Structure 1
Amino acid sequence: MSNIKALNWRYATKKFDESKILSEDKIEVLKKAFNLTATSYGLQPLKMLIISNKELQSKLRDFSYNQQQVNTASHVLVICIEDKVDEEFITNYFKRVKHVRETPEEIIKPFHEFLVNDFKTKAEEEIHAWATNQAYLALGTLLTVCASEEIDACPMEGFEPEKYDEFLSLPDKNLRSVLVLPVGYRAEDDEFSKFKKVRRPLDEVIIEID
């Protein structure tokens, strides 16, 4: 499937077929796509929970304004931000750079020191807002990959993060939930899946500058 055809096929699924479960291969693709997504500075201040326990999914529906996608999906992906992005977190990133790329310390050191000092000047709320922006980048990557793999998905901001955090013990993992993405396969009787996409004309949303 071409990229444009896949994106035309994609839609925010309203009803999943509970009998259809994503294969391990498909889940592995989503794991790798999440890990390969672009993030600012390459710091990856994100983690993703993959939930396939139906009992947990039913409980999470209670914290998702009763949206049925949460408990009928094959899996529920919860995109989380790191609660603390500090000097240790940044240093660990540069250790990975040095290990993977075998980059000399003298080349790494100036940028390493810059990021450490820059983040020290930021308020906690500012860092959380920055990390949340990275979560949206990851969501965009996942939605595109889902479309290309013909995996249905429904991106959700409509949930109660504090209750997700408490129920899933996220503070113990130094995490905060920011986005939810149920994935699976659309139900045959989901009438919304047959609707044509409604988008503004290209000449209204694209500005070309020669």
Structure 2
Amino acid sequence: MALALAYGVLAHLAAAWRSDLLSLAALLALVAMLLAAPIAARRAWSWLVLPLLVGAAFWLYGAGHAGVPLLLVPVAFVLLIAWMFGRTLRHGRTPLITRIVLALEGGPDAPLAPELIAYTRALTAFWAVLLVLLALLNLGLAAIATPDGLLASLGVTPPVSITRTQWSWFANLANYGIVGGAFIGEYAWRSRRFPNRYTSFADFLRRMGGLGPAFWRDLLR
């Protein structure tokens, strides 16, 4: 969590101040965030990948392109989460939201009402579609950012443009606001559609957190 926060701050400041050095720092924070868990678990491959990624970060910095990968990180991250939702919609699998509700309401042996099964499946699809659209919007904004967005880096002048700082406000901050707003809005709608399941939003969050890290780790596999 600390590395994720550090990355977000460094990436935003790098864009706002147009600093290659801060872009390099953000890339190194990203590498540390991605490899912290496997290194802590003593995975041999992580020690082999570490110098390659660090070397690539310094090479990009030396070439003056350390900020380019930062444009694609929000796109890749949001698409990854969308894939985690979407893959559970395949035939023979239990949709991700359905699995969460099963855990909240008594476990896999506690049957859900047919309307709740249909709702949780539709909700899983909603999150997959929303996140794909959000990733495409991030990609479009990264393409038209100036002076060093994706199109500008290729020598193409975008037909419309935004500043790199404006891109950063959206990619590094507004993304979370949109996701958080959708999460809260869906809870409000669900509380009316299926009343008396939770005493409050705080109770819902408490029960979600009470599922424990092992549940969330296994859920995302």
Per the normalisation by structure 1, the TM-score is 0.31
More helix by share: 2
* Larger RCO (alpha carbons 8 Å, 6+ apart): 1
Larger Rg: 2
More strand by share: 1
Per the normalisation by structure 2, the TM-score is 0.30
